A and B are shown apart, each in its own frame.
Chain A
């Protein structure tokens, strides 16, 4: 029997909406994939892209960013900042060869426990399909990357 790949996912929630949504999902005994490790921020606007890069470079396979719906931010408009950072971050990740789908932005209000649960499960399945990220792990094996060059050397002179 082959073991199924269980993605490690870091989730960032905002204190006012999406964390409450996760809480609601829990108290309502909704079932969703257990792969997400939630970290509560005061607001999605607190989400520094550093957090995402740190997670991905330290072994996470995906990162879920959640916040209040546009227009409903507790701090007026910080979730728009989160949206803009997210869109720019995705472009940078793509440039570095990381599937942009590994980072997902979800809006969930405090009443949307069900939405939080279903989005989480869907994201876990998506990451499962993409496979492990294993960022930076192969570097030790890369000592013989010279291989790439020696192959090229074999072109007849």
Chain B
């Protein structure tokens, strides 16, 4: 029996949606099993870290790594899987650019813990906070230590390919798995290292079927505040900040097609170094005003500028985190 190539999938700081997206490939998931030996996939099978540690370096052919690096356990497994894998894919927005968990980079880590354990929505009368180590009669227990900021995978280890999306669309996942199977059979070549796979090279606007004209925005609005939303006209043109102009294509413009603005989960379009900067450029270009006062009034329609332009990309942006998350905290 010839051994099948090995496959692994791991989740670090993520929500689990990437795993669901993989399962959403339906019966095609069986092809993964037919062509690969799944050696490590915590959400789907029982495996221990020590089993992975015992594997030979480079013995896993394909590892899909989803989630950002939030704690030292994430970092340890990222380094471990890098060593053991031939092809390491940053899978999904979190691993590529931080995604929603990356927005925690706006706050110092102590504040995050405080919010989680001691706000009005948390019933914590005894002020119990997690500790990274705790003595019990059986010995010392450890839980992972939070790192100061969340980092995308490529800020920690070398990444071969990027697969964006929150989560990546199932048909795109399938296309990538299919490609790897073809490569194994010698029927296709791998793309150059560092390539973005399972996505387009253009912008969401390029895939969006809505009609576009010259945009002259006098007021930014939330989509729920316009009634009715024109189903055929560009959403940005209707005054709703739509992230399509900066966002990579690959999702078939799902949100705009469903009547909602693009929120940017497919990350920066080809050639964009900083997603937020590109979006700022796009929004600034469509504002129809020339005096600072009028421009400011229109910009007031974007109440959370950082959240708007960096919703999925803060950790992977040029600045990576807010100043308060960088500097040492004084409690």
Interface residues of chain A, those whose CB is within 8 Å of chain B, are: 48-50, 52-54, 56-57, 70, 77, 80-81, 83-85, 87-89, 91-92, 95-98, 135-136, 138-139, 141-143, 145-153, 155-157
User: In the bound complex, do residue A157 and residue B322 qualify as a contact, i.e. CB atoms below 8 Å apart?
Assistant: no
User: In the bound complex, do residue A88 and residue B284 qualify as a contact, i.e. CB atoms below 8 Å apart?
Assistant: yes
Expressed in whole angstroms, the Cα–Cα distance for A36 and B289 within the complex equals 31
Which residues of A have CB within 8 Å of B299? 87-88, 91
Between-chain CB contacts (< 8 Å), 20 pairs = A49-B280, A49-B281, A50-B277, A57-B319, A81-B285, A84-B284, A84-B285, A87-B296, A89-B280, A92-B276, A92-B309, A95-B106, A96-B106, A98-B323, A138-B328, A142-B326, A148-B110, A149-B109, A152-B118, A152-B331
Q: In the complex, which of the residues A81, A96, A151, A155 contacts B110, with contact meaning CB atoms closer than 8 Å?
A: A151
User: In the bound complex, do residue B329 and residue A50 qualify as a contact, i.e. CB atoms below 8 Å apart?
Assistant: no
Q: In the complex, which of the residues B108, B305, B310, B320 contacts A145, with contact meaning CB atoms closer than 8 Å?
A: B108
Q: In the complex, which of the residues A57, A87, A152 contacts B295, with contact meaning CB atoms closer than 8 Å?
A: A87
Nearest-neighbour CB distance to chain B for A100, whole angstroms, equals 11
Q: Which residue of A lies closest to B151 (CB)?
A: A139
Which residues of A have CB within 8 Å of B131? 150, 153
**What are the 5 A-B residue pairs with the smallest beta carbon separation, nearest first?**
A148-B110, A97-B323, A95-B306, A84-B284, A142-B148
Q: Is B274 an interface residue (CB 8 A)?
A: yes
Q: Which residue of B lies closest to A95 (CB)?
A: B306
Which residues of B have CB within 8 Å of A150? 131
Q: Mark the stretch among B4-12, B49-57, B77-85, B121-129 that contacts chain A.
A: B121-129
Expressed in whole angstroms, the Cα–Cα distance for A142 and B331 within the complex equals 15
Expressed in whole angstroms, the Cα–Cα distance for A17 and B315 within the complex equals 37
Which residues of B have CB within 8 Å of A155? 127, 129
Q: Is B76 an interface residue (CB 8 A)?
A: no
Interface residues of chain B, those whose CB is within 8 Å of chain A, are: 106, 108-111, 113-114, 117-118, 126-132, 145-149, 273-274, 276-278, 280-281, 283-285, 287, 289-290, 292, 295-296, 299, 302, 304-307, 309-310, 317-324, 326-329, 331
User: In the bound complex, do residue A80 and residue B290 qualify as a contact, i.e. CB atoms below 8 Å apart?
Assistant: yes
User: In the bound complex, do residue B126 and residue A81 qualify as a contact, i.e. CB atoms below 8 Å apart?
Assistant: no
User: In the bound complex, do residue B280 and residue A85 qualify as a contact, i.e. CB atoms below 8 Å apart?
Assistant: yes
Q: Which residue of B lies closest to A139 (CB)?
A: B326
User: In the bound complex, do residue A92 and residue B305 qualify as a contact, i.e. CB atoms below 8 Å apart?
Assistant: yes
User: In the bound complex, do residue B329 and residue A145 qualify as a contact, i.e. CB atoms below 8 Å apart?
Assistant: yes
User: In the bound complex, do residue B322 and residue A97 qualify as a contact, i.e. CB atoms below 8 Å apart?
Assistant: yes
Q: Which residue of B lies closest to A87 (CB)?
A: B295
User: In the bound complex, do residue B323 and residue A147 qualify as a contact, i.e. CB atoms below 8 Å apart?
Assistant: no
Expressed in whole angstroms, the Cα–Cα distance for A95 and B306 within the complex equals 6
Q: In the complex, which of the residues A142, A146, A148, A151 contacts B132, with contact meaning CB atoms closer than 8 Å?
A: A146
Expressed in whole angstroms, the Cα–Cα distance for A147 and B37 within the complex equals 42
User: In the bound complex, do residue A48 and residue B277 qualify as a contact, i.e. CB atoms below 8 Å apart?
Assistant: yes
User: In the bound complex, do residue B149 and residue A53 qualify as a contact, i.e. CB atoms below 8 Å apart?
Assistant: no
Which of A81, A147, A148 has the most chain B CB within a 10 Å cutoff?
A: A148
User: In the bound complex, do residue B110 and residue A152 qualify as a contact, i.e. CB atoms below 8 Å apart?
Assistant: yes
Which of A57, A85, A141, A157 has the most chain B CB within a 10 Å cutoff?
A: A85
Q: In the complex, which of the residues A80, A95, A136 contacts B304, with contact meaning CB atoms closer than 8 Å?
A: A95
